[in-house]
Amino acid sequence: MKAIYLTGFMGAGKTTIGEALAERLALPVRDTDKEIERTTGLTIKQIFEEHGEQYFRDLETEILKNLPKDNIIITTGGGIVIRNENRIYMKESGVIILLHADLDVIYDRIHHDSNRPIANKKSKEELVTLYLSRESYYEDCTRKINTDNKSIDDITEEIIQSLKN
């Protein structure tokens, strides 16, 4: 089986769903942000503060391309899709599943999370603007799963069924 990439805006549930999906499919799961932290010895917040977003995006692309491409679930950072080369790479090496959630739900999940350097302390309007700036990149996916008002089990099952089609 090719890699399964879970993408979506921050707070869409990529990590949670990735872990549940990995358990159901008996596959390993790797998170690009966690891999960056492991490789650099820095938190994402520290990378942004000390080196900036461009440096982080370069690391993100490098990590993505060094992860396995078969029999794995890869959860991605919310901005990985803004680079065309990342979207092309993910499509060529696997299936991109977009997890979509209502922006009100996402805002409630992330607006006070200090581990999200792009979202922390932004207003709801600023987060909506950020989402809209990425929306066309998110839509450039293999499959889209709406996660609103669904349980983790329901979302996981929907992904599994979509992979059979």
Q: Is 61 known to sit in a ligand binding site?
A: no
Residue 80 DSSP label = G
Phi then psi for residue 95, to 5 deg, are -115, 130
Q: Is 83 known to sit in a ligand binding site?
A: no
Q: Is 30 known to sit in a ligand binding site?
A: no
Q: Is 79 known to sit in a ligand binding site?
A: no
Q: Is 14 known to sit in a ligand binding site?
A: yes
Q: Is 134 known to sit in a ligand binding site?
A: yes
Residue 39 burial (CB count, 10 A): 12
- Cα gap 141→138, rounded to integer Å: 6
Q: Is 116 known to sit in a ligand binding site?
A: yes
- Cα gap 67→80, rounded to integer Å: 14
Q: Is 11 known to sit in a ligand binding site?
A: yes
- Cα gap 111→106, rounded to integer Å: 8
Q: Is 78 known to sit in a ligand binding site?
A: yes
Q: Is 26 known to sit in a ligand binding site?
A: no
Three-class SS of residue 2? strand
Q: List, as residue ranges, the binding site for ATP.
A: 11-16, 116
Q: List, as residue ranges, the binding site.
A: 11-16, 33, 57, 78, 116, 134
Q: List, as residue ranges, the binding site for Mg(2+).
A: 15
Q: List, as residue ranges, the binding site for substrate.
A: 33, 57, 78, 134
